[in-house]
Amino acid sequence: MSEPDARRPLANPGHPAAGGFGDDEPPSRPRRHPVWEHVPDAQWDDWRWQTQNSIRSVRQLRTLLRFSPEELEAIGRLEGDYKLAIPPYYFSLIDPDDPADPIRLQSVPSPLEAENPSGYELDDPLEEDKDSPVPGLTHRYPDRALLITTPNCSMYCRYCTRKRATLTRGGWEGVSADDERMIGYVRAHPEIRDVIVSGGDPLTLPIGKLRFYLESLKEIDHVDVIRVGTRVPVTLPQRLYDNELVDLLASAEKVYIQTHFNHPREVTPEAARVCKALLRGGMPINNHSVLLRGVNDDLATMRELLRGLLRIKVRPYYIFHCDPVTGAGHFRTSVWKGLEIMEGLRGHTSGIGIPTYVVDSPHGGGKIPMMPNYLVSMSDDAVVLRNYEGLLIRYQAEDKPGTIDGTATRGVSGLLQGDKTVLVPHDNERMARRKPRVVRDGCGGDGAADGGRPILPLPMLNGTGNGHAANG
Ligand SMILES: *Cc1c(COP(=O)(O)O)cnc(C)c1O
Ligand code: SF4
């Protein structure tokens, strides 16, 4: 093969989502840590090589990244608490000069894991084990079940909510009685329509065992959907260069892929390639991200991630608030941070790129969606809604005679009383873009509710003194 620089072009040179380290980075930088620069491409592209050469000890880490002596000592002490594995491919996404690098934070142990800042962190924060009728299966929601099929992952995320499961060793044997029991439970429960094959990461399973799960579930008539939850497209895409694996997934027919990108830099040409292969195989790909301090807890990063996902046709599905799992307290943000991000998405960017932000609640309460407030006030006749621009809008949901008493009043109350239909912030660009025009009854599109009154571009509307200007 030719030189690696030419062979590994960035999909979108200069764009960090394409795998560079930033805008000032030349697009030709090979995404390999220098220690692997001379590995032949055929090996680099082989998932077995990637797995065999994964970083699995602090002793290896210290030769590849800089640590302070205190840090090394602290993470050395943590080594037995949680598994460590980072494939060279994923490791190479780390900027070795940045101690706060977002890929590093996700994969490299930190001394902060020894802390339990709130005292509230738990080994099983979602109480999955309590909603487990047979070992490894969680039946929480009425029509879906989650199967923990393996304790193994290609990379162990430091904030993983299922550390208690991934901590188990083994998982490489053949089909066990536990596996049979999980399938038996699904078979015996016709209300289960959607089965999440999770772990660990099921794409680390020996292919025979994965085939057992997929073929068994495919044959159960009442199962409509098999969701394969995997981070392999992100952390070890080479695994999916293997057509046998892609074909096996496709042949189960009911498969949706549920993957887990957290940062725009993870959206590489390698990830794009395997997502394309999965999509070609007829498998929709949904993504969930975990909101992580220092990784993606700002609007710009999140927007870039969502945009990168749309480019490779991965549908953003959820943003999870980080669960209170032991050793991950330093990753947790406020809920306000998540709401701030959601506020910056809805209306501002493609709706198909907007995930639902959810808190997975204690006591096994499941996922609870969190949204900024769009419902501002309400009366018998109308609700007052606000849009992403801060427009406050009277919306009459039902066609019924009004009971407005005509009390002259201002602000939101004025909207409820029917004095006005909208309050517009004085710097609204969209209104400023409009030309003065007259809207006729019912046919004027967005001005129709005003019934033939002139809609003026904003500069001609002077404020009412409360920071809003009213039309009508
Ligand atoms: C998240 C989850 C599901 C799937 O939930 P959806 O909202 O349908 O994606 C099912 N079971 C468990 C235990 C889960 O945590
Ligand atoms: S891939 Fe999933 S199960 Fe595995 S460590 Fe990461 S979050 Fe946990």
129 compared with 24, residue with greater pLDDT: 129
146 lines ligand 1 (CB under 6 A): yes
Tell how far the Cα of 161 is from the centroid of ligand 2, in angstroms: 8
Name which residue sits closest to atom 6 of ligand 2, judged by CA: 157
- For the cut 80, the answer to whether the pLDDT of residue 81 exceeds it is yes
- Domains, in order of start, for the chain: 129-370 (3.20.20.70), 375-470 (no CATH)
* 153 noted as active-site residue: yes
Residue of 367, 368, 370 best suited for mutating to test ligand 1, as the one with most atoms within 8 Å of CB: 367
Give catalytic status of residue 157 as yes or no.
Answer: yes
- For 292-346, write each residue's pLDDT tens digit: 999 999 999 999 999 999 999 999 999 999 999 999 999 999 999 999 999 999 9
In short, whether 200's Cβ falls inside 6 Å of ligand 2 is: yes
What does the pLDDT average to over 398-403?
76
The answer on pLDDT for 349 being more than 70 is yes
| CA 321 to ligand 1 centroid distance, Å | 14
Q: Which of 322, 323, 386, 420 is catalytic?
A: 323
User: What are the angstrom distances between the C-alpha of 426 and each of 297, 374, 431?
Assistant: 30, 19, 9
- Nearest atom in ligand 2 to the alpha carbon of residue 200 is 3
Question: Among 56, 140, 303, 453, which one carries the catalytic annotation?
Answer: 140
Region of 364 please: left (phi>0), alpha (psi -120 to 50) or beta: left
Query: 158: CA distance to ligand 1 center in Å?
Result: 21
pLDDT of 457: 41
The Cα-based distances of 228 to 103, 213, 257, 259, 460 in angstroms read: 23, 10, 5, 8, 56
The larger pLDDT score, comparing residue 467 to residue 248, is at: 248
Which residue would you say has higher pLDDT here, 259 or 9? Answer: 259
d(CA 423, CA 421): 7
**Residue corresponding to tokens 């995997």:** 230
Q: What is the distance between the alpha carbons of residues 270 and 240, in angstroms, rounded to a whole number?
A: 10
104: annotated active-site residue:
no
Please work out whether the CB of residue 153 comes within 6 Å of at least one atom of ligand 2: yes
Tell me which of 32, 83, 104, 153 is the catalytic residue: 153
Note the pLDDT tens digit of each residue in 255-275. 999 999 999 999 999 999 999
Q: Can you tell me whether residue 137 is helix, strand or coil?
A: strand
Q: Which of 8, 83, 104, 162 is catalytic?
A: 162
Helices vs. strands in the chain: H and E counts, helices first: 17, 16
Spell out the residues 6+ positions from residue 75 whose beta carbon is closer than 8 angstroms to its own: 58, 61, 67, 108, 109, 110, 111, 113
| DSSP letter (8 states) at residue 301 | H
Closest CA to 179 of 141, 153, 210: 210
Confidence of residue 284 (pLDDT cuts 50, 70, 90): very high
446 in active site: no
Ligand 1 centre distance from Cα of residue 175 (Å): 24
**Active-site hit among 141, 280, 430, 446:** 141
Q: How far is the centre of ligand 1, averaged over its atoms, from the C-alpha of 387 (Å)? A: 30
User: What burial class does residue 397 get, using C-beta atoms within 10 Å of its C-beta: 0-12 exposed, 13-18 middle, 19+ buried?
Assistant: exposed
Residue 74 one-letter amino acid:
A
Distance CA 264, CA 440 (A): 47
More confident residue, 262 or 117: 262
275 is catalytic: no
Strand pairing class (285-291; 255-259): parallel
With the most atoms of ligand 1 within 8 angstroms of its CB, the residue from 146, 260, 319 to mutate is 146
* Integer CA distances (angstroms), 269 to 13, 46, 52, 245, in order: 11, 16, 23, 20
Give the chain's mean pLDDT: 86
The alpha carbon of 172 and the centre of ligand 2 are apart by a number of angstroms equal to 17
User: What is the atom index within ligand 2 of the atom nearest the CA of 159?
Assistant: 7
